[in-house]
Amino acid sequence: MSVNRIIRINARILLIIGIVFSSCISQNKVKLIQERTTKTPTTDFPNSKVTTYRLQTGDHLYIEVYSVDPKTSKFFQTDFPDLMNPTYLYLKSYSVDEFGFINFSFIDKMYVKGLTVVEVKDLLQKTLNDYFKESTVVIKLVNFEVSVIGEVNDPGSFTIYRDQINIFQAIGLAGGFKDFGNPKKVKLVRQVPTGSNLVELDLSDNKILESQYFYMQPNDVLYIEPLNAKSVAYQRFPYELLLVIISTATLVYSVFIE
């Protein structure tokens, strides 16, 4: 075999290797909660888990009053069937009107806009204690919904039937990241009284566990950006594949035919 032929074969092999590896994605680009800020492994990530969402106009609160006193319980009973499903919760909910008030039973209008659910519960409990003994108030936010879009397997809006949900749980509801999902560039859109806040989060850094944005709030929207490799891959395909096939065929021909 001549020197020129060996050089041509080696060049083709290097070309094929270069093409194949150019389409690969580094695992470090898609791993979540990595140790990035320090070299010492960290296992504890304090987070207060405090629900900071404050009620806005149009929110719906499910309110139920329980008591060991039969007369008190009967007073707050309704004609609705005792079915704990989304429709039931919505029908039994109290809407925050355009002025920030709710109307609950015999109690005068209560201004709740800007309060947390816990604060409303405490306020209502204090008011009821003036009229009834041994009563307990249960309040839930009915319209707790989050949306996850972008590079996830099952994008959409999801109703949350719990007090809290974190970012990873929300992404899990959306089926997890796609192959080209970029955990380093996750945008969070959060409603605030003055409009909306846009925050960019890095889910590959384990410090996200301590972030004030780790726990989601009602009406939050998560957008998972694609990796740059995705646009490159789509732009080159099927040219790279075609080039690999041609190069491989040429190499085989050079080795076995020539």
Q: With bands split at pLDDT 50, 70 and 90, how would you rate the model's confidence at 26?
A: low
Residue-level pLDDT at 84: 59
Residue-level pLDDT at 152: 96
Q: Do 33 and 65 lie in a common domain?
A: no
Q: What is the pLDDT of residues 225-250, one digit of tens each?
A: 998 765 555 544 555 665 666 666 66
CATH code, 90: 3.30.1950.10
Q: Do 204 and 186 lie in a common domain?
A: yes
Pick the closest to residue 142 from 222, 81, 64 (CA basis): 64
* Residue 119: partners with Cβ closer than 8 Å, 6 or more residues away: none
Look-up: residue for tokens 């960019």?
Answer: 200
CATH code, 165: 3.10.560.10
Domain residues for 205?
28-50+144-226
- pTM of the entire predicted model: 0.65
| pLDDT higher at 173 or 77 | 173
- Domain boundary (92, 111, 141) is at 141
Backbone angles phi, psi at 140, to 5 degrees: -130, 145
149: β partners: 223
CB atoms within 10 A of CB 141: 22
Q: Does 156 have pLDDT greater than 70?
A: yes
Is the residue at 55 inside a domain? no
215: β partners: 166
